[in-house]
Amino acid sequence: MALLEVKDLKVRVEEREILHGLSLTVNEGEVHAIMGPNGSGKSTLSHVIAGKPGYEVTDGQILFKGEDLLEMEPDERAAKGVFLAFQYPVEIPGVATMTFLRTALNAQRKARGESEYSTPDFLKKVREVSKSLNIPQDMLKRGVNVGFSGGEKKRNEVLQMALFEPSLCILDEMDSGLDIDALRIAADGVNALRSPGRAMVVITHYQRLLNYIVPDFVHVMSKGRVVKSGGKDLALELEASGYTQFEDAA
Ligand code: ADP
Ligand code: MG
Ligand code: MG
């Protein structure tokens, strides 16, 4: 059984159809890249998978581990193992990163029917994971993403991902606004989380990120459809030839 199966998905936002019958199959352990120009519907796809409100699914299906994902609330999806790292992580002033992580992690454990972490257990876990990702402890004391650099925000997303141990990670343009050093650090963090039981969907406009996170499969989106799929070399082809060749296909 596929981990994620998107079948002929049609999605509307404010009466306008954005995704026009999109299909995608992701198996455990695979890393898929989704590339495409601005406005092709990449973020829409990730938001619909995560359950962000405001999208109307008019046709098609999304199955996760064989279950109908569209029937589940966003927190239920997260508890089942879906994690979305946002293109623009939100700032939450007044809530320390540590507190946020603990609340979110315990809510998820509860939803999974697991017991909450005790304070010492949580601290031990978060220290261990942040250390492995080279995240300084003082970052955890600051308000969530408040005053964080672009690179720190992405590292914070990767930290959440590591703590939540999802089986499907969707990374929406994690390269946007990052310089090359920050990109490398964030990508190293993601690579450290690659495992046979976990799949990743890496959304990006540029080929550059895929030099660091090397995908097994590449899909090109244009105007709300997947117009081409291939191996990692497809990303290199795109870098050379651009997206305009797909405009007619869409
Ligand atoms: P991408 O992530 O590939 O840049 P998006 O999924 O963000 O593309 O957007 C796809 C299309 O849907 C664009 O034309 C965008 O203007 C439109 N769209 C996305 N979200 C909304 C929204 N909340 N309201 C209206 N239009 C939207
Ligand atoms: Mg965009
Ligand atoms: Mg986007």
- pLDDT tens digit sequence for 184-202: 988 998 999 999 999 999 9
pLDDT at 248: 60
AA letter at 51: G
Q: At what angle do helices 150-164 and 97-111 cross, to 10 degrees?
A: 30
Q: Among the bound ligands, name the one nearest to the CA of residue 14.
A: 1
pLDDT in tens, 134-165: 888 889 999 999 999 888 898 899 999 999 99
Nearest protein Cα to ligand 1, atom 26: 13
Confidence tier at 132 by pLDDT (50, 70, 90): confident
Q: Whose CA is nearest to atom 13 of ligand 1?
A: 39
CA–CA separation, 243 vs 221, rounded Å? Answer: 9
Instruction: Decide which of 3.30.360.10, 1.10.520.20, 3.40.50.460, 3.40.50.300 is the CATH code for 2-249.
Output: 3.40.50.300
Q: Indicate the pLDDT class of residue 240, thresholds 50, 70 and 90.
A: confident
Helical ranges in the chain per DSSP H:
42-50, 74-80, 97-111, 119-132, 137-141, 150-164, 180-192, 209-212, 233-241
pLDDT score of 12 more than 90: yes
- The pLDDT, as a whole number, for residue 47 is 96
Which atom of ligand 1 is nearest to 41's Cα? 6
- Residue 2, pLDDT above cutoff 90: yes
Ligand nearest to the CA of 37: 1
Highest average pLDDT, of 23-27, 107-111, 205-209, comes from: 23-27
Question: Quick one: average pLDDT of 161-173?
Answer: 94
User: Which two three-digit tokens encode residue 52?
Assistant: 């962000």
CA distances for 135 relative to 86, 147, 153, 217, angstroms: 19, 15, 11, 30
Over 60: is that where the pLDDT of 250 sits?
A: no
CA 235 – ligand 2 centroid, Å = 18
Residue nearest to atom 15 of ligand 1 (CA): 39
Query: Can you tell me which atom of ligand 1 is nearest the CA of 38?
Result: 4
Instruction: Indicate whether 249 pLDDT > 70.
Output: no
Contacts of 33 (CB under 8 A, 6+ apart): 201, 202, 203, 204, 210, 213, 215, 217, 218, 219, 232, 235
Residue minimizing CA distance to atom 11 of ligand 1:
39
Percent of the chain with pLDDT over 70: 99
* pLDDT of 199: 98
Question: Residue 224: how many CA atoms within 13 Å on its side-chain side?
Answer: 13
pLDDT band at residue 28 using 50, 70 and 90 as cut-offs = very high
User: 136 CA distance to ligand 2 centroid (A)?
Assistant: 30
* Ion ligand 2 residues within 5 Å by Cβ: 38
Nearest CA-CA partner of 213 in 229, 197, 202, 227: 202
Atom of ligand 1 lying closest to residue 46 CA:
6
43 CA to centre of ligand 2 in angstroms: 7
Please give all residues whose beta carbon lies within 6 A of any atom in ligand 1, as ranges.
13-14, 18, 36, 38-44, 54
Measured in angstroms, how far is the CA atom of residue 224 from the centroid of ligand 1?
10
- The number of the ligand nearest the C-alpha atom of 86 reads 3
Q: Where are the beta strands (DSSP E) in 27-76?
A: 31-35, 56-64, 67-68
pTM: 0.93
Q: Report the separation in Å between the CA atom of 62 and the middle of ligand 1, taken as the mean of its atom positions.
A: 20
Express each pLDDT in 31-80 by its tens digit: 999 999 999 999 999 999 999 999 999 999 999 999 999 999 998 999 99
